[in-house]
């Protein structure tokens, strides 16, 4: 499985950004794909994930009012739409893949989780 994240950039506080994660080498319905982020000096933080098997999703409660995950099955691509961005959202955002039931266990990072490329998101005026 290869995961390529894109869509990061510089955005002003209160702005929006949509990240994309394109997956290749996956078998349809065999994965869930999600997003993590890591800011300098901080722990990795799980955001959200979505299953290609049953469309189930999970999003961290603290972010669920501003971040929305979706997917395009035909493109094997997962999106993270982010609204009302804050400076504390500044981080490298990584996409990751795991088993199809991953949302049911809260998209928890584990040994089998495959991490893809990251994309930098900077929220600043």
pLDDT digits (tens, 9 = 90+) for 12-37: 999 999 999 999 988 878 999 999 99
- Tell me which residue has tokens 């990072």: 109
Q: Which of 43, 42, 25, 45 is nearest to 34 (CA)?
A: 45
Q: For residue range 47-73, what is the model confidence (pLDDT) as tens digits?
A: 999 999 999 999 999 999 999 999 999
Which residues, in sequence order, are CB contacts of 27 under 8 Å at separation 6+? Answer: none
The whole-angstrom separation of Cα 18 and Cα 41 is: 24
Distance, in Å, from the CA atom of 10 to the CA atom of 56, rounded to the nearest integer, reads 30
CA dist 7 and 88 (Å) reads 18
Q: How confident is the model at residue 1 (pLDDT cuts 50, 70, 90)?
A: confident
pLDDT by residue (tens digit) across 87-104?
999 999 999 999 999 999
Q: What is the pLDDT of residue 11?
A: 98
pLDDT mean across residues, the chain? 95
């Amino acid at each position: 499985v290869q995961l390529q994240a894109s869509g990061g950039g510089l955005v002003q506080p209160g702005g929006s950004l949509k990240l994309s994660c394109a997956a290749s080498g996956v078998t349809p319905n065999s994965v869930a794909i999600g997003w993590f982020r890591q800011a300098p000096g901080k722990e990795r933080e799980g955001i959200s994930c979505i299953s290609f098997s049953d469309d189930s999703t999970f999003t961290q409660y603290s972010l669920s009012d501003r971040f929305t995950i979706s997917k395009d099955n035909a493109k094997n691509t997962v999106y993270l739409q982010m609204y009302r961005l804050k400076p504390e959202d500044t981080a490298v955002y990584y996409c990751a893949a795991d088993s199809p039931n991953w949302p049911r266990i809260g998209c928890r990072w584990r040994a089998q989780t495959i991490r893809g490329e990251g994309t930098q998101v900077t929220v600043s005026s």
